[in-house]
Each structure stands twice: as structure tokens, then as C-alpha cells.
Amino acid sequence: MTKVCDTFAACLGVASRDTEWATFFPVLRDGYEHAQEMGRRDEKKRQSLLTAERSTMKDVKVAVKEAATEYKRSRPR
């Protein structure tokens, strides 16, 4: 983290460490919040895909049961 701050400070070209942190901290916080938001979006997307997968499996199970029932009905006795 120190290396990141030093690099940022070098780009700013300011002498005061307080000024560096006053400028660097909001950037750091914004980056952190952005990363958190991206993590939440990825988690929602993953949950959505799992739900869709479960729905598809339910559809397959229902279709197999219906086909088995239809087969039993159509068999000659």
C-alpha cells in the first residue's frame, strides 16, 4: 500500500504527506467501494445463474415424469 501511495504522491507532485493522504484517501475509498459493488454484482449474477440452473433441472424432471406417465398410459395391458 505504501508503494501505491508513494506512486500516487509522485504523480501529484506535492510535498506535504497530509496533502498526499487528503488526496489519496478518497481515491482509495472510491476504488474500494467500486470493488465491493463489483463483488456484489458478481454474486447476484452467480445466484441468478444457479436459480436458472435449478429451474431448468425442475423443468427436466417434470418433463421426464410426464413422459414416463404418458408411456405408462400408452402401453397395452
Domain ranges of the chain: 2-74
pLDDT tens track, the chain, 77 positions: 677 767 777 777 776 778 777 877 888 889 899 999 999 999 998 888 888 777 887 888 888 888 888 888 887 76
At 54 the pLDDT is 78
pLDDT at 39: 92
The C-alpha cell of 67 is what? 413422459
Entry pTM = 0.50
C-beta neighbour count of 24 within 10 angstroms: 19
Give the gyration radius of the chain's Cα atoms: 29
Q: Which residues contact 7 (CB under 8 A, 6 or more apart)?
A: none
User: In which residue are the cell numbers 414416463 written?
Assistant: 68
Question: For residue 55, what are the CA distances in angstroms to 42, 43, 49, 74?
Answer: 20, 18, 10, 28
